[in-house]
Structure 1
């Protein structure tokens, strides 16, 4: 490109025209021009590739105005259709399934549900593993569909709110400490057995202990003594026959017996007393 220099003259002045004219070349020529075109072409290719990749990602991920793939954004929250896999923790206020389908949580290791307070500390945890179900919390409660408490556990006690607690195991129920219940009953076709293999068995009640067998018999077996004690009242043995078959028999009568054997007698008023045993009855 050539730039020419012009001089203007006014009346009354005389300027000499310069003898030499300077010419300036403006532009990019040679290898610089070819590099510039190559760079522009490379940018155009990258732009086309990026645009094609963007279209491909939108198509593969099923982007739409309402969501992405099986994920839909509704006024009530997020809705997932089909199976979904989460690689990191999921935080949600409420998770529920469709009305006609069930909610399934599946994991190859375990499923853990945590409850946190406002400070971010875990206040409750439920872990379902391949071998056990574990829960952590201050209180655990199971309610029926109408809101009735069925089972409740805390640090102090365990409550069973059902009308009947049935233990179907062949070994029965084992309690390491005391048990408080208004009724202990076996099925109609099975026996009821209260047993303490290495310690004593004690039954206490403020208004009395009632033992009843509608069919069959009642047996009380002990390695040592069996004590029937009533602090304020009487002990009534109401039966047609009361037998003590293993009482030893005396060899001679009289008050000076050296064997110190006695006989249990029943008076007309129903009270029991003892008498020195002899060859015959001394009552």
Structure 2
């Protein structure tokens, strides 16, 4: 503090005020002043650099009042323009593309979509990899868009159901069925229809009959062993303009046959067919020695 001396005077006296003995100057001087100016200058430089970096980041990241770069924040959600790369999981309630473009999900390894329940456990999974597409779930449904409620394809643990009007197999090797198959119609368009079992037997069963029809071609049945046509309650009907059985054996009666070319077809009790020389009356009984030898 500045200490000053004061002299008490009375009215009418004229005395000079004495000079103060000590004088102190208020302020910052010397090296303190220079440090303060240097600190203020450094602070101004930092503020300017910070402001320049902020403006540069805003420009590089394309910040705007509606979003950041290609990412626009709208009232109905977030809109993303162009190609984007996600390095971590993406959680969204709905993902859809623009009305005039398709939605593309691309990955260098695979694309996996998971569905979880309230406990966080995975209840469904769709994985698209470089070699195969895997679907994990209880059921897999494909429904028609044009006909709401119409089922096209269903797969579950017990069955595979196809709801289309026609199942078309276009592979050159056809369809391979390791077990039984149930269908009301097997047909082909413009190609040869072939039912084949290379190493096992083939059985065709129907509760009300089996109809085998070739409208423009022939029907050929080949078997390494026996071909059995069996009807439990009805009859076996072969309807054609001509019926050829070229390799039927000829029955014998212990005598040499004649040179005539007329025969009649006979049936053994076990169903075996054989030929007998035709005569005015049936000769099946006379030439039935083969039936006795086959029993």
Would the aligned equivalents of 2:266 and 2:275 in 1 still touch at CA under 8 Å?
no
**Residue 258 of structure 2 aligns with which residue?**
none
- Classify the secondary structure of the residue corresponding to 1:113: strand
**Native 8 Å contact 1:123 1:137 kept in 2:** yes
Residue 235 of structure 2: aligned partner? 234
Q: Could you report, residue by residue, the CA deviation over 1:218-259 in whole angstroms, capped at 9, with x for unpaired residues?
A: 1211111111222222222233444432223345349xxxxx
Q: Distance in 2 between matches of 1:265 and 1:240?
A: 20
SS in 1 for 2:49: helix
The residue that corresponds to 1:13 in the other structure is: none
Task: Name the SS for the 2:89 alignment partner.
Answer: coil
**C-alpha separation in 2, matches of 1:68 and 1:222:** 74
Distance in 2 of aligned mates of 1:111 and 1:155: 25
Residue 260 of structure 1 corresponds to none
What per-residue deviation string (whole Å, max 9, x for no partner) do you get for residues 29-64 of structure 1? Answer: 655554444334333322221122112111222212
Determine the structure 2 residue equivalent to 1:18. none
Task: For 2:273 and 2:32, locate their aligned partners in 1 and report how far apart those are by CA, in whole Å.
Answer: 138
Q: Deviations over 1:104-148 (max 9, x none)?
A: 223333322222222222222222233333222222122222222
Report if aligned partners of 2:61, 2:69 keep a CA contact under 8 Å in 1: yes
> Any conservation in 2 of the 1:264–1:272 contact (CA below 8 Å)?
no
Contact 1:114–1:125, Cα closer than 8 Å, also in 2: yes
Indicate how the Cα distance of structure 1 residues 228 and 64 shifts in structure 2: closer, same or farther if over 3 A, else same: same
Say which is worse superposed, 237-246 or 74-83, in terms of deviation. Answer: 237-246
- Match among 127, 151, 154 for residue 152 of structure 1: 154
Equivalent pair of 2:187/2:193 in contact (CA under 8 Å)? yes
Quick one: structure 1 residues 273 and 56, their matched pair in 2 at CA, closer, same or farther if it must change by over 3 Å? Answer: closer
Q: How many angstroms apart in 1 are the aligned matches of 2:274 and 2:204?
A: 33
Which of 171, 178, 181 is equivalent to 2:180?
178
In 2, Cα distance between equivalents of 1:195 and 1:137: 35
Are the equivalent residues in 2 in contact too, given 1:115–1:124 (CA < 8 A)?
yes
Q: For 1:50, what is the secondary structure of its paired residue?
A: helix
TM-score between the two structures when normalised by the length of structure 2:
0.74
**Shift of residue 272, structure 1, vs aligned partner:** 9.5
Number of equivalenced pairs: 259
TM-score normalized with structure 1 length: 0.77
> Partners of 1:121 and 1:274 in 2: how far apart?
67
Per-residue CA shift, 1:146-185, capped at 9, x if unaligned?
2222222122111211111111111111111111100001
Say whether 1:131 aligns with 2:128: no
- Is the partner of 2:130 in helix, strand or coil? coil
Tell me the residue number matched to 1:164.
Answer: 166
Contact conserved, 1:141 with 1:151, CA < 8 A, in 2?
yes
Q: Does 1:3 align with 2:8?
A: no
Structure 2: which 5+ residue stretches go unaligned?
A: 9-20, 256-263, 285-295
CA separation of 1:150 and 1:45: change in aligned 2, threshold 3 A: same
